[in-house]
Every structure is written in C-alpha cells, then in structure tokens.
Amino acid sequence: MATVEIRALCSNLTSSLSTSCTQGKSYTNCTVSLNSGVALWYLTSGASARPMVINVLSGSSKTFYKNSSFPVIQYILAKGSNDNPSAGGGISTEIGNNTQFVATECVLQTGVRSFQSTVIMGDYQETQLAEWPVLNNTVEDLGYAYSFTPPWNESLGAKENQTFGLGFEAWDSISVFLEFLFAGYVSAFSDNFNFQPSQSGGAYATADALEAVFYGNFSGTNCQDTDQLSCAIKNVAAAMSKTIRDSAFTYSTSYQPINFTEANTTTGKTQISVSFVDVHWEWLALPVIVWVLGALSCVCTAWTTRQAQIQTWMNSVLPFIFLHLDGDNIVDFQGSGNESSEPQIMGEQRRNESDSKGYSLVGRDDSLEACLRMAKKTQARLQPGP
C-alpha cells in the first residue's frame, strides 16, 4: 500500500541555549533563549517564572530545519518543572540558576510511504517497505501545493510514474492550525498558574495543547524520545497520516462533491485469507477400502440369506433364543411351522478342569445346515421361564 504521509522530524537544540541575566532593584531576571528569539524567563528569587514556552516560526537560517514545507515548532522547558501536576504556582520557586533547561525543534514533513499491513489474531501490524520524501521540482497539477512521484511499481503499491500530492487547501489548513495550536507559554507566580496562548484570539484548543505538552504522559504511545514536544508532534503527525490514508475509504460519506473527494490519497491492493480444502486421495485410500469391503460383506450376507429364503441376521429373532442361556435356568420356546415341533433348550452346567460353564442344545444338531433348516421351518417366539 502506498499513501501520502506526514511525519515529524525533531532535533535537540539544548546546546544552542544561551542564558542572560539582568539585575533589577530588588530582583534578578534571567532569560533563556534560542537564536530564533524563542525565550523564557525566571526570577532568581522564585517569585515568578515561565517554565515552558512554545512558538511557531518559518524555516530560516536561524532554525535547524531551514527548508521545511510546514512551520517550524520550537520549545524550551525547565527540566523537572512538570513533575508535580498539583504544584501550581509554586513551580516558580523551584526554578533558579541551578535548573537545567532543554530545547527542541520539530517540523512536519510530507512524503509518500509504502508499507504492508497485516492483522494476525486481532493484532494490527505495519511493515515499512519504502519511503519517498523528495519533492517534485515542477508541479504539473496546479491543484497541488507539493507533489511526489516515487520511482515505484505495483510491488510497492503504486503505479509507475504515479503522482501523489498535497493540495493547497490542505497545506494552508495544516499550517494555520499549527501556528495557533503550538504557540503559547506556561505562567507560574505566587498562587497563580495558567496556560496562556501567545496569539490573541487563538485556536480554541491552544490551552489544552499546551497542557498536554507540559503534563502529558506519552509512555503508552511507544515514544522513545525524552522530551515532551517530540512525542506530542509525532502523535499529531501519526493522526494526520491516518486521516489522509482513511480518506480514500471514507470519501463516500463526505459532504463534499464526488469529484473533490475522490482523490487518490491511498493506492494498493488488499489481500484476505481464504480457507480451502486440499484432498489427498492417498489419505482416504485405507478408509475407503475398509468401507467398500464392509459394504460388500453386508451385500453378500443379505444375498446369501435371500437365496436361502430366510431373514437376514440383522432383523431375525433367532438371537433372542440364546439371550438367557447364562445359568442353570431352562428356557422353553414354542414354534409352529410346516412340521409340528416343540424343541427344548436346557442349560447344563458342566465342570471341567478350569471350572468353566458350557451349554448345549439337548437333542439338537449344532451344525449350520441344521440351524438353517430349523429357521426355515420354525417361527420362534421367546418365552422366558420363571
């Protein structure tokens, strides 16, 4: 799958910080700043301080990322000032000449990313195949603010010479959003503590964004960076990338016209798991042979009994005759047929060397032919004795 992606690039600017102090009548005001002009200050007495400041700049010689397509975001933080969310304005008393300060610069960068996604046992995973951050020198489609033409083929989810782009409206909206959202500072003095946007009439969520950066716990986002701004901007970039990627599937629910929303922001192929049955006849040979032999045995038995004009064993009452021959009891049964007969079966207990029990039919021929003749002539009904 290939899609337009927004990723966050961050760099540590702590080594570029400079500190200067100004002596007043009853206080000493110290300022910690970057070359770009982003700065925070504190009073050495602990009466007042700005523990954090965030500002948005355009890429220039005074920033680390000089040729960025989106505004550059810089921040300075008094290390340890955000450890206790309940400290409030008392944070200012903990900031002094021995406080360490950290600075970071982040920027959003657009590009094209090819990846393979899988879902195994409900677990979603992505494997990156390639990425292409190189901008086209010329824009053939004037609807694009930035465009990319990666040298890929369908194996990476894109057609040959396929162009991906970011429209002017999308670029302008993101830029304005960043300028208002990440521009402000934290103010702490006496019993007062607040998150203050630096732009008058700023975005509705600026104070919330400042609080999220200052106090946010990003341990659950698998962020490996040690500063707050890097984790926050990377989460913002991931959310934007997901929105762009999902727009290829959600455009049908948009209020925008069809020709506006059918942008090819995501291309690729989807593969699904399909269950199939592979039959190996050699595995079935033995069961089939046994089943065929059993069926032939049943057919042959039925044919033989039919030729003999007797019932087959499965529906004959003849086995019930021998059901109670398990002791010294005498079982009598009567039958009627072409010949008058009253056979009697008597169980005789005989002891041999192993003290086993044996039974015999009194006055009967135990051969198979005799049993067949009797079965033809006799309709037996079991009459258990007392």
pLDDT digits (tens, 9 = 90+) for 345-372: 444 444 444 444 444 444 555 566 666 6
56-91: pLDDT as tens digits:
888 777 788 888 888 899 999 998 888 877 777 678
Tell me the whole-structure pTM to 2 decimals: 0.62
Q: Which helix (H) or strand (E) covers residue 117, if one does?
A: strand 101-120
Q: How much of the chain exceeds pLDDT 90, in percent?
A: 15
Q: What is the mean pLDDT of residues 208-220?
A: 83
Distance CA 311, CA 305 (A): 6
Q: Which two tokens stand for residue 171?
A: 């670029």
**Dihedral sign from CA coordinates of 172, 215, 226, 55:** positive
Which residue type does 230 have? S
Q: What pLDDT shows up at residue 319?
A: 63
Q: What pLDDT shows up at residue 196?
A: 87
Distance CA 75, CA 280 (A): 67
* Confidence band, pLDDT 50/70/90 cuts, at residue 14: very high
90-144: pLDDT as tens digits:
788 888 888 999 999 999 988 888 888 888 887 888 888 888 888 877 656 566 7
User: Considering only CA atoms, which of 61, 9, 17 is closest in space to residue 38?
Assistant: 17
Distance CA 184, CA 206 (A): 8
* Confidence band, pLDDT 50/70/90 cuts, at residue 379: very low
* Confidence band, pLDDT 50/70/90 cuts, at residue 54: very high
Number of H helices, E strands in the chain: 6, 16
Q: What is the mean pLDDT of residues 255-261?
A: 47
* Confidence band, pLDDT 50/70/90 cuts, at residue 291: very high
Q: Which helix (H) or strand (E) covers residue 41, if one does?
A: strand 39-43
How many Cα atoms within 13 Å fall on the side-chain side of residue 184? 26
Q: What pLDDT shows up at residue 122?
A: 79
The better pLDDT of the pair 322, 94 is held by: 94
